[in-house]
Amino acid sequence: MKRAIFPGSFDPLTLGHTDIINRGITLFDEVIIAIGINAEKNYMFTLEQRMHFITEAFKNEPKIKVMTYKGLTVDFCKEVDAHFILRGLRNPGDFEFEKAIAHTNRKLSEIETVFLLTSSGKSYISSSIVRDVIRNNGDYTSLVPDTVRVS
């Protein structure tokens, strides 16, 4: 089975994420959306909210699993028997950052990183931009799936 993990904080899940995930499931038998837990990070949404946003967005897709993990991504890959890490690239800055991580992961393990370019109409969307829009009471709904709603 070709299993990939798509790691991130997903704070919150965006249409950029869903673009990469939907295209990733055409390449892999299973994609595990892996929510990294970092106690030192200050999240806008709780882990439970983030899991809900994701599980609801993909509830009708049997090739998707949602899990959480702590520690190194490559260790989690080994734990779940995933041989691929799926990552999205929006711009050259993303490429340079992700390339360094991919090289490090490859040095630590036999895990391959697969990069997909975010669709052009979604390449400007990032979780940090969405959080800023939400903090400033802007209309964030065109940037996230319908499952992401702030009360």
Residues serving a catalytic function are: 17, 41, 90, 127
Contact present, 63 and 30 (Cβ < 8 Å): yes
* Number of other residues whose CB lies within 10 A of the CB of residue 143: 21
How far apart are the two ends of the chain, measured CA to CA in Å?
40
What is the side-by-side order of every strand in the sheet holding 84-89?
64-69, 30-36, 3-8, 84-89, 112-117
Distance CA 101, CA 74 (A): 11
